[in-house]
Amino acid sequence: MFDFYPENLYNMQKGSIRVQTENIFPIIKKFLYSDHEIFLRELISNAVDASQKLKTLASIGEAKGELGELSIEIKLDKEKKTITISDRGIGMTAEEVDKYINQVALSGAEEFVNKYKGQNENSIIGKFGLGFYSAFMVSDKVEIFSKSFREDAKAVRWECDGSPEYFLEEAEKADRGTDIILYINDDSKEFLDTDRVRSILNKFCRFLPIAVKFEDQQINNTHPAWTKKPGELTSQDYQNFYKELYPFNEPPLFWIHLNVDYPFNLTGILYFPKIKQSYEIQKDKIQLYSNQVFVTDEVKDIVPEFLMLLQGVIDSPDIPLNVSRSYLQGDPNVKKINTHITKKVADKLEELFNKERKEYEEKWESLGLFVKYGMMTDDKFLEKANKFHIMEDAVKPVFYTLDEYRIATESLQKNKEGKLVILYTTNPVQQDSYIQAATAKGYIVLKMETIVDAGFINQMEMKWDSVHFTRVDSDIVDNLIDKQESYETILSKDDEAKLKDLFNMEIPSLHVTVEVKGLSPETQPVVATRPEFMRRMKDMASLGGQMSSFYANMPDEVTLTVNGNHAIFQSLLKEDDKDKQEKIVHNLADLALLSQGLLKGNELTSFINRSVELIEGKQKSKIIV
């Protein structure tokens, strides 16, 4: 092993990098990072650190002279197959090169190899400062030219070809700072492509605090909105920053500015995007930064699951990251930040609801997805959200909180058990006849038609006190609140039996139960309903999940309630033409099934053809008369 003495430096020293093993470089090349493009971020981040340190020293009088422009420049040389990263920061003396470069991560390299070789990169979270050595993932050789800011400091050149051997010597360099030259290997030629490098810079460096230049253009905004205090920003500033992040999106609904310095450091801006359709929901739109260096857009654990639908930026140096800055460690700060973000969002929503309710209701189509998702997954958020969660009337332009709905329906929508029965529709157009029947009795029907509502209903029945949800088409209107035990019809028992027999028919893919009851003469002749529990399971199955295939493959259960008091059956039972009688019965059943969206394919075609036949027969009988 080579023993290093500073006074012998400039005689062209040759030595071994002190890693205690020769196995470190193969591991660095193949294992240190999963994405090789990370090398550029790491080297530029080091350049930013060097520049920031110089500014700090200058501010306390330890760095003399003019600082000049503290920019970082990236240059490609396709002929020489090199990438050069240059900064005008603090620079290094020979002793510092030996300390920070030759002694990999200062210490513990042998332990690193023995403990972590063969494991995945999550296992080495935060253990070593190996950022510089990411250069060897893409390089056959790396050179460093560096000159310290210190007066009379001599420039040095360091070179290593990816083996433990290095060279360190005096060099010529006019300006303060560091140049790192990477001689790109054949497997990494992609990084000599201008567009490829520009895309990496745009991904990782677009908000770095020191100017980064490539192809004579500055590629970053050094003072993004989240680094400023809320009082310094106008509404337009927030809108402009959102457009900078998501240039093709519609303007956001509103935003929350995070600015915490105790007991953890956290800044950022979270935006509530417009979501007009449930299928537009996209996660992984929040970007995580550490001191303005992009880390990842996978922020699970830092941001609560239900707020993964938000967009924007969070920046925290207190979030522990692995060596490639791509995964999170379990840490108390992460939980605190998660809790803080949840509280800030809940407070903001409550403030909007209380101060600008009309505007809040207008945004509910998008906001509702966040709020419901949060109520389902976070009990602390649920407690707060009960104050600002609202439900939309299916008929009138009115919204209700749970308490408001309870008051509005107190006299009509309590069942025998004393529970509030919330009537809802998942499709106001398709279920219109059921809604009309319910509202005619004074009931209030709510819209529950988003992608999260099936799960929301099940969760809230467990979490809300004394509440039961019933879909408006799950039973005949008289049974929606309480099951009625007896009905009277104007038919004789024999006629009831005949009518039931007429409607007992085989319908493919459906399990049909027929009942004859004495409903209001104004009620439809046949009402099709689907049991609440089974229909809910089918709805949930359509969204996927463990039991999805089980329930999805089960036949739909349908009850056909034949209204024995409807006038049509007086004449139908007397019809002598059995074929005509059968066709009318089949059409009445099909009309009821059509209202539930259960008439499809061949059955729908048969219904249309049968209807035409009946109309033609009626026209012929008129002509004969």
| Reported confidence tier of residue 130, pLDDT bands at 50, 70, 90 | low
The dotted CATH code for 6-218 is 3.30.565.10
The dotted CATH code for 390-479 is 3.40.50.11260
The average pLDDT across 381-410 equals 96
| Whether the Cβ atoms of residue 6 and residue 98 lie closer than 8 Å to each other | yes
Cα atoms in the 13 Å half-sphere on the side-chain side of 153: 23
d(CA 251, CA 253) in angstroms, rounded, equals: 7
Report, at the CATH architecture level, how domain 493-624 is classified.
Answer: Up-down Bundle (1.20)
Q: Would you say residue 624 has pLDDT above 80? A: no
Per-residue pLDDT reduced to its tens digit, 481-526: 987 766 788 888 999 899 999 998 887 778 888 999 888 888 889 9
The average pLDDT across 346-371 equals 94
Q: Would you say residue 4 has pLDDT above 50? A: no
* Coil, strand or helix at 466: coil
- Using CA atoms, how far residue 258 sits from 81, 334, 489, 493, 601, in Å, is 44, 15, 66, 72, 54
Q: Which percentage of the chain shows pLDDT scores above 90?
A: 48
| Reported confidence tier of residue 122, pLDDT bands at 50, 70, 90 | very low
The average pLDDT across 533-539 equals 72
Per-residue pLDDT reduced to its tens digit, 443-489: 999 999 988 898 899 999 999 999 999 999 988 888 889 877 667 88
Strand partners, 168: 13, 158
Q: Would you say residue 113 has pLDDT above 80? A: no
Same fold yes or no, 6-218 and 493-624: no
The average pLDDT across 215-235 equals 95
Most confident of 168-172, 537-541, 556-560: 168-172
pLDDT recorded at residue 544: 59
Own/partner long-range contacts of 338-342 (Cβ < 8 Å, ≥24 apart): 338/301, 338/302, 338/303, 338/304, 339/380, 340/258, 340/260, 340/264, 340/266, 341/258, 341/270, 341/302, 341/303, 341/304, 341/307, 341/314, 342/304, 342/307, 342/374, 342/378, 342/380, 342/381
In angstroms, the first-to-last Cα distance of the chain is: 118
Q: Would you say residue 125 has pLDDT above 80? A: no
Chain-centroid distance, C-alpha 248: 18
Most confident of 31-40, 66-75, 603-612: 66-75
- Using CA atoms, how far residue 34 sits from 39, 121, 122, 309, in Å, is 11, 8, 10, 26
Q: Which helix (H) or strand (E) covers residue 507, if one does?
A: none
| Reported confidence tier of residue 119, pLDDT bands at 50, 70, 90 | very low
Domain ranges (residues) in the chain: 6-218, 225-355, 390-479, 493-624
Q: What are φ and ψ of residue 114, in 5° steps?
A: -65, -40
Chain-centroid distance, C-alpha 522: 48
* Coil, strand or helix at 408: helix
The DSSP code for 189 is G
* Coil, strand or helix at 612: helix
- Using CA atoms, how far residue 545 sits from 233, 282, 455, 551, 552, in Å, is 44, 19, 11, 10, 11
Most confident of 126-135, 269-278, 497-506: 497-506
Per-residue pLDDT reduced to its tens digit, 558-616: 889 999 999 999 888 888 889 999 899 999 999 988 888 888 888 888 888 988 888 87
Per-residue pLDDT reduced to its tens digit, 398-425: 999 999 999 999 889 999 889 999 999 9
Q: Would you say residue 323 has pLDDT above 80? A: no
Given the structure tokens 């430096």, which residue do they identify?
A: 9
The average pLDDT across 321-337 equals 64
Please give, one letter per residue, the 3-state secondary structure of 245-289. HCCCCCCCCEEEEEEECCCCCEEEEEEECCCCCHHHCCCCCEEEE
Signed CA dihedral, 204, 210, 216, 218: sign only = positive
pLDDT recorded at residue 3: 38
d(CA 350, CA 427) in angstroms, rounded, equals: 29
- Using CA atoms, how far residue 354 sits from 358, 373, 387, 446, 528, in Å, is 10, 21, 9, 22, 42
The average pLDDT across 217-229 equals 96
* pTM given for the model: 0.75
* Coil, strand or helix at 405: helix
Q: Would you say residue 134 has pLDDT above 90? A: no
Higher pLDDT, 543 or 21: 543
d(CA 257, CA 345) in angstroms, rounded, equals: 10
* Coil, strand or helix at 422: strand
The average pLDDT across 545-566 equals 73
Cα atoms in the 13 Å half-sphere on the side-chain side of 76: 15
The dotted CATH code for 225-355 is 3.30.230.80
Chain-centroid distance, C-alpha 366: 14
What is the signed CA dihedral for 558, 561, 567, 570, rounded to 10 degrees? 100
| Reported confidence tier of residue 278, pLDDT bands at 50, 70, 90 | low
Q: Would you say residue 293 has pLDDT above 70? A: yes
